[in-house]
């Protein structure tokens, strides 16, 4: 046992020494988070030992702390999952990238570890999941609630998809809800249905002299919320005893899957993946928060990579002798067609539309910032941090600035009255109609150019958009959603 402790101490020493050496690299820090290296924040030695003795699934089982739910829907949901072993396999394999980190954060907060399984219900552990209610990420935050928990959403990144930031926000929100209701099952219901909805249901039951546990309140809940906690209980049951259900869980090693890289210079996603020697899809699975093909560097920019690939990234970066980024930002000061911007930067309109997620037949509103190729004049210049944090893009239908209308001259009309009516000048009316005098004849037809009004179309703001698949239907936190078939239903926050 003493020999094992010495081994653990040596391992910890190597890890910390390696970090100190790596941190000296210019524009690069590779730092395994302390929370992701230890099992118990107070005893690094026993934590490293525990890594050798227990896998992540075992740690989750050991930390179960929410009372089991006795509800007929638990059986229904369990049967649904058990009948789809390929779905469980696919989801648990995907989860293995993130579980260690989520579990560490739960243990650090002394929270029940079955909450690590909640993304199973929310997003099938897909951090790029995006719903029709605009809920995004592994924990499915809607934009407003994301902002409530300091998840930045701008043109270049959406922290609702950030593995580290969204996990921290979700656990903070769950702790808040548990503090409000004093019951984890009600906290989960509120996470799905909204805290206001749960509060109102409690008041109804209290007024009627009825209990206020989850089962007693479920009569007031929409179908999605009635099934939500039973789904988590079903997954919990399967993870607790997978063999009893004929399920084999994939190996989930009890050690960090990724380390954190700090990057202060801009770098293209493709270049970052290439330097890390990772397939682009795998790189995006760990770094889904980036909306554009360039990662803007700053003191707060973090990239996640598996440990081995982080070392490759460091080595390859030191030998890289080309620009790290091929993109820069451009802000328009007037309404602008994409074709005009493309000509300015000697590129194709289709390229700008693709990288900026601009649909056909739309143009930019004044003040919009878009990504454009770097020019030879400034190949090494980075996008300013302040611009990256606050850049926005708004688009509108690409319709003509004006349209022609025909005006029949009335008995009391004259050039001045017609010009005033259509908010143009007398000189313009005369020019459009080739008039050389100010006299009009009753019944005469005039051509007038008036501003093209798109009353039914408001500008579309595209600050944190992303072309992601719509994996689930969701609702807002304040309204109940319509029920849907199947147990994978999102809650939106």
Instruction: Answer whether 194's CB lies under 8 Å from 221's CB.
Output: no
200 φ, ψ (degrees, to nearest 5): -65, -40
The helix (run of H) or strand (run of E) holding residue 249 is none
Long-range contacts of 421-430 (CB under 8 A, 24+ apart): 422/448, 422/450, 423/450, 423/451, 424/448, 424/449, 424/450
In the chain, how long is the greatest CA-to-CA distance? 109
CA-based Rg of the chain, rounded to a whole angstrom? 29
Tokens of 412: 């009391």
Of 126, 130, 248, nearest to 492 (Cα)?
Answer: 130
Q: Which of 105, 114, 122, 224 is catalytic?
A: 122
Please state, in angstroms and rounded to a whole number, the distance separating the CA atoms of residues 76 and 154.
41
**Could you tell me if 174 and 106 are in contact, meaning their C-beta atoms sit under 8 angstroms apart?**
no
What residues contact 356, with CB distance under 8 A and at least 6 apart? 292, 370, 371, 393, 462
Torsion of CA 392, 396, 401, 405, to 10 degrees: -150
Q: Spell out a b/e string for 439-457, using b for 16 or more CB atoms within 10 Å of the CB, else e.
A: ebeeeeebebbeeeeeeee
- The question of whether 122 is a catalytic residue gets the answer yes
Taking the C-alpha atoms of residue 17 and residue 21, their distance in angstroms, rounded to an integer, is 6
Candidates 155, 213, 159; CA nearest to 181 is 213
The set of catalytic residues is 122
């Amino acid at each position: 046992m003493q020999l094992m402790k010495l081994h653990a101490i040596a391992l910890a020493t190597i890890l910390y020494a390696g970090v100190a050496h790596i941190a000296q690299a210019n524009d690069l820090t590779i730092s395994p988070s302390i929370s992701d290296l230890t099992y118990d924040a107070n005893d690094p030695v026993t934590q490293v030992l525990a890594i050798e003795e227990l896998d992540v699934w075992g740690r989750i089982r050991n930390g179960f702390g929410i009372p089991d739910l006795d509800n007929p829907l638990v059986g229904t949901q369990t049967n649904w999952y058990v009948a789809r072993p390929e779905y469980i396999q696919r989801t648990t394999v995907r989860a293995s990238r993130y579980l260690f980190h989520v579990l560490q954060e739960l243990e650090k907060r002394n929270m029940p570890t079955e909450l690590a399984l909640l993304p199973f219900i929310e997003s099938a552990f897909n951090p790029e999941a995006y719903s029709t209610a605009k809920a995004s990420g592994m924990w499915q935050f809607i934009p407003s609630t994301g902002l409530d928990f300091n998840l930045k959403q701008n043109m270049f990144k959406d922290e609702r998809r950030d593995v580290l930031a969204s996990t921290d926000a979700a656990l903070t929100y769950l702790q808040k809800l548990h503090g409000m209701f004093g019951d984890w099952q009600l906290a989960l219901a509120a996470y799905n249905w909204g805290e206001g909805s749960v509060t109102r249901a409690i008041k109804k039951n209290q007024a009627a002299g009825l209990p206020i546990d989850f089962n007693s309140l479920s009569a007031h809940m929409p179908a999605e919320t009635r099934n939500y906690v039973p789904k988590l209980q079903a997954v919990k049951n399967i993870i607790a005893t997978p063999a009893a259900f004929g399920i084999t869980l994939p190996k989930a090693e009890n050690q960090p899957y990724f380390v954190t890289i700090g990057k202060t210079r801009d770098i293209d996603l493709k270049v970052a993946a290439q330097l890390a020697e990772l397939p682009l899809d795998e790189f995006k699975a760990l770094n889904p928060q980036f909306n554009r093909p360039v990662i803007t560097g700053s003191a707060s920019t973090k990239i996640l990579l598996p440990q081995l690939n982080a070392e490759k990234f460091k080595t390859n970066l030191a030998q890289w002798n080309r620009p790290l980024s091929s993109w820069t930002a451009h802000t328009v000061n007037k309404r602008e067609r994409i074709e005009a911007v493309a000509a300015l930067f000697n590129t194709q309109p289709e390229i700008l539309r693709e990288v900026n997620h601009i649909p056909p037949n739309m143009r930019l509103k004044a003040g919009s910032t878009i990504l454009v190729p770097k020019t030879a004049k400034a190949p090494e210049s980075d996008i300013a941090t302040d611009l990256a944090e606050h850049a926005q893009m708004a688009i509108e239908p690409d319709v003509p600035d004006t349209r022609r209308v025909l005006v029949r001259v009335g008995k009391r009309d004259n050039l001045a009255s017609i010009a005033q009516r259509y908010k143009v000048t007398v000189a313009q009316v005369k020019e459009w109609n080739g008039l050389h005098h100010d006299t009009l004849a009753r019944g005469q037809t005039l051509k007038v150019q008036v501003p093209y009004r798109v009353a039914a179309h408001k500008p579309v703001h595209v600050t944190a958009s992303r072309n992601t698949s719509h994996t689930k239907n969701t609702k807002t936190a304040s309204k109940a959603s319509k029920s849907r078939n199947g147990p994978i239903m999102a809650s939106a926050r």
